[in-house]
Structure 1
Amino acid sequence: MKKQFVILFFCYFLFESNSYSQDSVTYKPNQIREFKLIPLPAIGSNPANGWLFGLAPSATWRMGTKETTHLSNLVGNFLYTTKKQWIFSSRSNVFLSEDKWVLVGDWRYFITSQPTFGLGASSPNVPEENPNQSGVYWGEQQMDYTWFRFYETVLKRISDSKFYIGAGYHLDKFSKITNFLNDEINPDFTFSHDFYNDQLGFDLEKYTLSGITLNAVMENRDVAVSPYEKNFALISYKINPEFLGSDQSSSTLLLDYRHYFNLNNQRKRHLLALWGYGNFLVSGNLPYMSLPSIGYDMFGRSGRGYAQGRFRGESMIYSEVEYRFPLQKEKDTFGGTLFFNASSFGSKMTQEKLMEKINAAYGIGLRVMINKENRTTISADYGFGRKGNSGFYLNINESF
């Protein structure tokens, strides 16, 4: 744990030195521009958490001129849920003056619970014995746990281009893990989580993943929280060595691409949005809750139509298309959306190959823009998945 605190301090020091270096005087705190804070009382909903209540402050600001610097944004959550969960998080994209540096943060502390269904894309809704693993549960199994996350990435712009390269430190600590069933089928069966971790030598109640990422980014969106046009791409290779605190050494590859096609130059809110996402275990082993899973992107927006964590495996491919449109002739206050997504998971332990099984979902949504200048939006969606899976999602800003 001492190693990880040293790394956290180093990340903080690096942030401070970038913010106040000699060639960065344009983004000192007293020159922050266009700062807007919306301290929203929060009411949200999704299948994994139920209804959420609390505060969800959203802030935007600019660290340079409008012509040369993107809007920075931060979204916080201080929430309690109807499933007796506590959720504290802060996620940010900070563009320094002239977009020369970008700081990406994802900090979380959850005292939470979640159903897990086993590995692969074929797991059923209700618990039963896994046909590929005798005596192991498959289907919905409840899990209580505590989760601490600290992700911070520093990216440097390449000349005057839209491309950035950089590195980050990523820490996930899961603890106090308890598995249970609401209606136990067979007391001698083993939970999917426990079977997987036991087979690969991980602790059943706590584990740590601590690593460094090497990142390449293309940031070409007009506004990151609610884009109207252009595109975004990310390649992130993560190395999780034991000497940084990981229980076992491993490496992963994350690919993320988003494109926004404007359909009407006079109504920028009328557009088609595309999202492609892949997450792959490259080497070594990951503990169960650190495996690629639906709904575990930075803002937890993938897989509408399914609960977070509904599908999980060593490899994951996800895609989504969303049609966004205004609901008023001249104003942009109200908008709507239609979406369709599909995902596939591979698992070595269950011998399921990637693309062997595809789970699709579709849905409809309403958008209410509460701040036109920075495009802060309340989004309400209802998604329908396969085999009776569905869910209502109430959030801040667009899904992607």
Structure 2
Amino acid sequence: MKPGLLLGLFLVLTLKLSAQTDSVTFRPNKINQFKLVPLPAIGSNPANGWLFGLAPSATWYMGDPATTKMSNFVGNFLYTTKKQWIFSSRSNIFLNENKTILIGDWRYFITSQPTYGLGSSTPNDPIENPNQPGVWWGEQQMDFRLIRFYEAILKRIGDSKFYLGAGYHLDIHSKIESFQDEEITGELEFVHDRYNSDLGFDTDKYTVSGISLNMVMENRDNSVSPYEKNFGWIQYKINPTFFGSDQSSSLLLMDYRHYINLSESRKRHLIALWGMGNFLVSGDVPYMNLPGIGWDMFGRTGRAYAQGRFRGESMVYTEAEWRFPLQQNKETFGGTIFVNAASFSSKTNNEKLFEKFNPGYGVGLRVMINKQNRTTISADYGFGQKGNSGFYLNVNESF
């Protein structure tokens, strides 16, 4: 069955189930009215350079705010100084009385970014890989296009904080081209091409298409900018060839976030903790579908490093952030101090998880533009190892 047909069937099934199980009543002049922030985007990060365009965000309620959590959407419609086009939408939608959650991640990229090889020990500058003679190690440029459609529907278990459900996931990478800058000489093979050819994947286009089983614990007071409680997500993704994948595979994602309030009178003063693991369980996936830094749903892992700076068959990530208000009696301005670390495995370089960590740290400024819904503009600067650093401008908290 073709991925496009699966996508259509999944959309029809999602809409049908939602219509059958949740009746939604909108009440004019209440807080559940749709609130859109059409934010102009002027920012910078290591993977894209300077970005220009729109980064709209929206919050709304799909039912009575007393019994329904706030839904949110974040979009990007951007052009960058590296001649990239980035279109994306990410959403968490809570239907009436939180009976159903819809989690969406849709993207279309005409983009480029460097890759450095697999594992946590990859250098910045390109050299020959001592563990893989004849192959580049370190920075290598890549152009590619990406079509991504991820959508999951989860049903609440009774009156608990737990949800079970299924999802459909499609990634199509195409028009992939690896190259080196003109001033770099050498006849070595690109790591992306060697990895794919060794495992029987094409080097210029590949597809991963499959379904997922999901369990979510949603206990946060607000998914846009949490002040307390916790969130957990376990996802087992299966990518069989009869769903359109080039090869069969499976991956496991585990994500947990905890928010410790430091002041009852100023709930914005808190410690936020995040732990995540992403593991290739069976089979093989193409190079760009391996777990990588900055490739989580909202692209927030690894502040201090460019998206894709580290990649491997398995990934473990952890982060801690101190969030605090900067005004005595107002909530408009806030600050943050964060530290993070990631570890990646690589069969090619005989590198195991936890053998090496890549730490990052930094500071950030928060501007709350909608106090009722806690919509926030975040600006962070992160510092990593070996001269890696970056500026990050986003909508809402990092996690």
| TM-score scaled by length of structure 2 | 0.97
Relative to structure 1, is the Cα distance of residues 51 and 185 closer, same or farther in structure 2, using a 3 angstrom cutoff?
closer
Distance 1:349 1:211 in 2: 26
Matched, 1:362 2:364: no
Report the counterpart of residue 275 of structure 1 in structure 2: 274
Q: 2:352 maps to which residue?
A: 353
Letter in 2 for 1:207: Y
Distance in 2 (CA, whole Å) between partners of 1:214 and 1:184 is 47
Distance 1:214 1:129 in 2: 41
Q: Pairwise mapping of residues 108-127 of structure 1 onto structure 2 (< 5 A)? A: 108-127=107-126
22, 25, 29: which is aligned to 1:24?
A: 22
Deviation of 1:76 (Å):
1.1
Counterpart of 2:71 in structure 1: which amino acid?
Answer: S
The answer to whether structure 1 residue 146 and structure 2 residue 159 are counterparts is: no
User: Residues 216-227 of structure 1: matches in 2 within 5 Å?
Assistant: 216-227=215-226
What secondary structure is seen at the aligned counterpart in 2 of 1:26?
A: coil
Partner of 1:389: 388
Alignment partner of 2:188: what SS?
Answer: coil
Structure 2 residues not aligned, in runs of 5+: none
Compared with structure 1, are the counterparts of its residues 358 and 312 closer, same or farther at alpha carbon in structure 2 (3 Å cutoff)?
A: same
Q: Is the 8 A contact 1:128 1:185 kept in 2?
A: no
Deviates more, 1:23-32 or 1:333-342: 23-32
Whether the 8 Å CA contact 1:20–1:28 is kept in 2: the answer is no
1-side partners of 2:32 and 2:184: how far apart? 59
How big is the shift at 1:307? 0.5
Match runs of 1:257-268 below 5 Å:
257-268=256-267
- 2:397 alignment counterpart: 398
- Does the 8 A contact of 1:137 with 1:189 survive in 2? yes
Matched residue count: 398
Does structure 1 conserve the Cα–Cα contact (< 8 Å) formed by 2:382 and 2:391?
yes
Question: Aligned partners of 1:129 and 1:233: how far apart in 2?
Answer: 41
Task: Give the C-alpha shift of residue 26 in structure 1.
Answer: 2.6
Identity of aligned residues (%): 70
Q: Does the alignment pair 1:181 with 2:170?
A: no
Contact preservation (8 Å) 1:369, 1:377? yes
Decide whether the 8 Å contact of 1:119 with 1:311 is kept in 2.
Answer: yes
Query: 344-353 or 115-124, which moves further after superposition?
Result: 344-353
Counterpart residue number, 1:132: 131
Displacement after TM superposition at 1:221 (Å): 0.6
Once the 2 structures are TM-superposed, how far is the Cα of residue 344 of structure 1 from its aligned partner?
Answer: 0.4
CA RMSD of aligned residues (A): 1.4
Q: TM-score, normalised by structure 1?
A: 0.97
When residues 255 and 27 of structure 1 are mapped into structure 2, their CA distance, relative to the original with a 3 A threshold, is farther
Distance in 2 (alpha carbons) for counterparts of 1:373 and 1:322: 23
SS at match of 2:24: helix
Choose 118-127 or 10-19, whichever is displaced more.
10-19
1:282-319 Cα deviation digits (max 9, x unpaired): 00001000000000110000000010100000000000
Mean CA deviation greater in 71-80 or 25-34: 25-34
1:143-189 deviation line (CA, Å, top 9, x unaligned):
00000000000000000000000000000000000111114544420
SS in 2 for 1:73: strand
Residue deviations 1:123-148 (CA, integer Å, cap 9, x gap) = 10000000100010000101000000
> How big is the shift at 1:11?
1.9
Q: What does the per-residue CA deviation read over 1:350-386, in whole Å, with 9 as the maximum and x for residues that have no partner? A: 2111111111010000000001111111111000000
Quick check: 2:290–2:311 contact (8 Å CA) kept in 1?
A: yes
Q: 2 CA distance for matches of 1:368 and 1:26?
A: 32
Say whether the 8 Å CA contact 2:31–2:65 is kept in structure 1: no
What pairs up with 1:85-124 in 2 under 5 angstroms? 85-124=84-123
Equivalent residues in 2 for 1:47-58, closer than 5 Å: 47-58=46-57
Q: Give 1:29 shift.
A: 10
Q: Distance in 2 between matches of 1:188 and 1:391?
A: 31
Q: What is aligned with 1:164?
A: 163
Q: What is the alpha-carbon distance in structure 2 between the residues aligned to residue 261 and residue 271 of structure 1?
A: 6
Residues in 2 aligned to 1:65 and 1:389: alpha-carbon distance in whole angstroms: 46
1:15 Cα deviation after fit: 2.6
Question: Which residue number in structure 1 is paired with residue 34 of structure 2?
Answer: 35
Match of 1:341 in 2: 340
1:256 aligned onto 2:255: yes
Aligned residue type for 2:280: L
**Amino acid paired to 2:101:** V
Distance 2:26 2:334 in 1: 37
1:304 and 2:303 correspond: yes
Q: Deviations over 1:215-266 (max 9, x none)?
A: 0000011111111110000000000000001000000000000000000010
User: What is the deviation of 1:320?
Assistant: 0.2
SS at match of 1:5: helix
Contact 2:27–2:33 (8 Å) recurs in 1: no
Distance in structure 2 (CA, Å) of the matches to 1:262 and 1:129: 49
Equivalent residues of 2:150, 2:167 under 8 A apart: yes
What's the offset of the Cα at 1:32?
9.6
Is contact 2:26-2:32 (8 Å) kept? no
C-alpha separation in 2, matches of 1:14 and 1:268: 40
